[in-house]
Structure 1
Amino acid sequence: MHNRRALLIDSALAIGLAVVSVSLFVLVDSGELAGSAAGDLLRPVREPDGGAAVLVGLACLPVAVRRRWPLAALCASLLPDVVLVITGYGFSSVAHLVLLYSVAAYRGLAVALGGLLVSLLAYALAVVSAEELPVTVAVHVLQVAILAGVWGMGRGLRLRRAYLEELKDRASRLERAREADARAAKAEERSRIARELHDVVAHHVSVMTVQAAAARRVLTEDPEQAREALSAIESTGRVAMREMRDLVGVLRSPAERGPQPGMESLPMLVEQMREAGLATDLVVEGEAAPLPAGVDLAAYRLIQEGLTNSLRHAGTAARAVVTVRHRPGELDVEVLDDGQGAATAGSPERGGPGDRSAGERGPGEAGRGERGRGHGLVGIRERVAIYGGILKVGPRPGGGFEIQARFPLS
């Protein structure tokens, strides 16, 4: 549609130039411009005739294709002009100026220079071949200056158009980059929220599930114990609701954000696991020092996930030990249980993504492989990797499961 419209406009321009050029040719012939500067410049040696008028019109017709084939159109327009000058008519249409401008405006520098060179050579050929024309040196200089000026205007328009296109392209690239950054930020935030939801929901729901199963088993034989289990379920549910409200508050507004759990909440977590039926011990070594908020939360979530896995998979007779070691420049955390499992130890990996978990054992390894496949351990790997830590996850030699992490504090 755009090309068709441009062709129609250029065709109308070609017809208009042809009409104007033929009219000027007739006026010069009739002497109506005699005595004027235009009449002196365009005055022919030979008397104009119909054939010369046709040549004037033909020189204007290539303007119709000036956008598609500008250099070819320029050459086609210069040919009748040169013939007019050589044969002594002395009249040259302005169509070749329009076409020279088009070559400079719509083609690259090499083609544009070629168009200027063709115009200058055609003019030089006409001057040399028609020495009897009454043209002074000043007219030659003026003609060359006109050609150079028209060419310069076309190049200026092309450079300005290229500059505007580059600005548009740069703005488009920046917009795409902003959209990509926004998508990445949203994906990262969704991943963080998913980790938090899993840590909060999975832990408490696992505890409530174990307590409910225990209450169901002893409901008829020991109502008092069943009542205690139901009370623990109620307490755990309240804690889960409170943490969920805190997490939703983070999503709603920063002003509603409550304190996140940290290492100071470990005794409460251990006690909660004991009430859920998992014998749990807490060992703290070294002098506790203030921890960065991110490391504090990551270490707590790691221990929470490890104890939740032990509660789910280690069995009712298992025992879990949580060890926290405060060392200069680093924090070590460890969650071990003695439940029945494979006897192949995991291997440590830097940053977490390549660690070997129970879910990645070979065909001959038995045990609780599902403990390495859940979203919780994936979240642990991501948390440890964020803070440049070392993570080791896998079955213990002789049975049981272990999760060990070392967080640098520098």
Structure 2
Amino acid sequence: MFTLLRKLRPYLEPTIAVVFFVLWVVAEAGRQHGGSAWAALITISVAIAVSRIWPWAALAAVSAVPLLQLVGVLRPPESTTWPVAFGVIFVAFTVSLTAPKRVAYVALALSLPMALAAGALLGLQMNSWVGRGSFEREVEMFVTVAVVAFGLYAGAWGLGFALRLNFSELRALYLLRATAAQLGATESELAMSHERDRIAREVHDVLAHSLAVVIAQADGARFIGEKKPEKTDDALRAIADAARSSLIDVRTLVEGLREDQGDQPQPGLADIPALVKQVSGAGMTVDSQHFGDAKTMTPAQQLAVFRIVQESLTNALRHAGRATTRLSFDWRGPGLALTITSAGIEASESTAGGHGIRGMKDRARLAGGWLTAGASDGDFVVTLFVPTGSERPAEGEAA
């Protein structure tokens, strides 16, 4: 419906001009009028037709008719032809509604000259139509017609300009609502993207670690099963424990997606010894050192430290097998300085630039700290700092 109205909008003023012309012709059928009356009718009809697309031309046309009548080029309006002047009112309305504001203000400035011209042409002519009266009567008719003409012209202009302001306000409101809707959709998409990243990071941390332990235990059981059958049961038990723990973590993650599980317990610093014991059962040697007294950390920071340790041990188990990894927890600075050194891992794209390392850096950043990872003297070193106070030292200072 609105699309159809927009398509028909350019034909509105020409249609009104045609109706205006036809109605005048029908009303004056049977009367004889000279060329001046037809020239005025045609000029004002054309001004109505072009008032939206050529407002300057429309104003010039409706101003030229009374001017030419006053100077005698065209005959003054007659007793039955003067209603043609009502077309000027429609031009004033259309220009104030659709034309640029500069042109609209020019149309308003023409209200007084047009009113005076109407008073001079119609007011004085009315006296001759009913029989010329006294000079006072002529002045009275002049003033009356001029005031009425000014009121009609200015009223039409004011109505058009008021509608113009109303349409502008409605358009601004529409654009504001459309922009708000777009921003809301963008915000929702961004939140969904962040949630997908969080889910991917959690799934990666949980499954990568558990599968690395399972693979290491399975390979160990396969290699030593024939020589030491009694070790097979231990390996299978470790595989079952790792798989069961992974299954619980994945179920917890899935439940967290279906409903708000913000109060459920999350892994923290107290769970790191169990994590170390789990990978030690897979054949990795893990040495933990602690310096200074542990300080209070938020649950989010503890979760970040746990996941980073988990990812580092998983990388060491995956890339170095039964390697030796050293964990150094240093609490003597303004926070926790954690160094994880894994022997026998070369820097590569999979370790230094993969999803796991990027995830660890993101976790460290969200916890308020920073993380670096890279090869050093044949080892792979992960350095993490998480502040526990209000200060946040520059990267490398705590290490």
TM-score w.r.t. length of structure 2 = 0.82
Measure, in 2, the Cα distance between the counterparts of 1:4 and 1:270: 74
Contact 1:18 1:61 in 2 (8 A): no
Q: Matched residue of 2:331: which SS?
A: strand
- For 1:303-318, what aligned pairs fall within 5 Å after superposition? 303-316=309-322, 318=323
Relative distance call for 1:63 and 1:169 in structure 2 (3 A) is same
Measure, in 2, the Cα distance between the counterparts of 1:340 and 1:253: 40
Measure, in 2, the Cα distance between the counterparts of 1:206 and 1:160: 68
Measure, in 1, the Cα distance between the counterparts of 2:298 and 2:345: 36
Deviation at 1:189, TM superposition (A): 1.0
Measure, in 2, the Cα distance between the counterparts of 1:404 and 1:203: 19
Question: What corresponds to 1:49 in structure 2?
Answer: 33
Q: Please provide the CA RMSD for this pair.
A: 2.7
Structure 2 residue 23 is matched with structure 1 residue 17: no
Measure, in 2, the Cα distance between the counterparts of 1:384 and 1:4: 58
Contact 1:315 1:339 in 2 (8 A): no
Point out the more displaced range, 146-155 or 69-78.
69-78
Question: What corresponds to 1:107 in structure 2?
Answer: 99
Unpaired stretches in structure 1, ≥5 consecutive residues: 30-47, 342-357, 360-368
Measure, in 2, the Cα distance between the counterparts of 1:247 and 1:3: 53
Measure, in 2, the Cα distance between the counterparts of 1:313 and 1:285: 28
Deviation at 1:222, TM superposition (A): 1.9
- Structure 1 residue identity aligned to 2:328: T
Measure, in 2, the Cα distance between the counterparts of 1:166 and 1:107: 18
Q: Matched residue of 1:136: which SS?
A: helix
Structure 2 residue 304 is matched with structure 1 residue 298: yes
Structure 2 residue 158 is matched with structure 1 residue 152: yes
Residue of 40, 43, 47 corresponding to 1:62: 47
Residue of 375, 386, 389 corresponding to 1:407: 386
Q: Matched residue of 2:296: which SS?
A: coil
Relative distance call for 1:136 and 1:121 in structure 2 (3 A) is closer
Contact 1:218 1:225 in 2 (8 A): yes
Measure, in 2, the Cα distance between the counterparts of 1:373 and 1:206: 19
Q: Matched residue of 2:374: which SS?
A: strand
Q: Deviations over 1:34-56 (max 9, x none)?
A: xxxxxxxxxxxxxx724344235
Contact 1:286 1:326 in 2 (8 A): yes
Measure, in 2, the Cα distance between the counterparts of 1:392 and 1:88: 94
Question: What corresponds to 1:33 in structure 2?
Answer: none
- For 1:311-390, what aligned pairs fall within 5 Å after superposition? 311-316=317-322, 318-327=323-332, 329-339=334-344, 341=346, 358-359=347-348, 370-390=350-370
Residue of 186, 189, 192 corresponding to 1:183: 189
Relative distance call for 1:302 and 1:114 in structure 2 (3 A) is same
Deviation at 1:254, TM superposition (A): 1.4
Question: What corresponds to 1:44 in structure 2?
Answer: none
Measure, in 2, the Cα distance between the counterparts of 1:88 and 1:102: 26
Contact 1:325 1:331 in 2 (8 A): yes
Q: Deviations over 1:55-83 (max 9, x none)?
A: 35312243233332233233334434544
Measure, in 2, the Cα distance between the counterparts of 1:97 and 1:409: 77
Measure, in 2, the Cα distance between the counterparts of 1:321 and 1:257: 33
Deviation at 1:128, TM superposition (A): 6.8
Relative distance call for 1:81 and 1:25 in structure 2 (3 A) is farther
Question: What corresponds to 1:45 in structure 2?
Answer: none
- Structure 2 residue identity aligned to 1:338: A
Q: Matched residue of 1:204: which SS?
A: helix
Q: Deviations over 1:293-341 (max 9, x none)?
A: 110000011111111111122343x311112223464122221123264
Deviation at 1:152, TM superposition (A): 1.2
Question: What corresponds to 1:259 in structure 2?
Answer: 265
- Structure 2 residue identity aligned to 1:393: A
Q: Deviations over 1:250-289 (max 9, x none)?
A: 1011148631111100110110111011001222232233
Q: Matched residue of 2:77: which SS?
A: coil
Contact 1:329 1:409 in 2 (8 A): yes
Residue of 219, 227, 238 corresponding to 2:233: 227
Measure, in 2, the Cα distance between the counterparts of 1:287 and 1:130: 103
Question: What corresponds to 1:169 in structure 2?
Answer: 175
Relative distance call for 1:296 and 1:195 in structure 2 (3 A) is same
Q: Matched residue of 2:59: which SS?
A: helix
Point out the more displaced range, 11-20 or 126-135.
126-135
Point out the more displaced range, 168-177 or 255-264.
255-264
Contact 2:123 2:142 in 1 (8 A): no
Measure, in 1, the Cα distance between the counterparts of 2:7 and 2:309: 72
Measure, in 2, the Cα distance between the counterparts of 1:228 and 1:274: 13
Contact 1:282 1:322 in 2 (8 A): yes
Point out the more displaced range, 196-205 or 83-92.
83-92
Contact 2:93 2:160 in 1 (8 A): yes
- Structure 2 residue identity aligned to 1:370: S
- Structure 1 residue identity aligned to 2:52: R
Quote the sequence identity (%): 30
Measure, in 2, the Cα distance between the counterparts of 1:127 and 1:25: 23
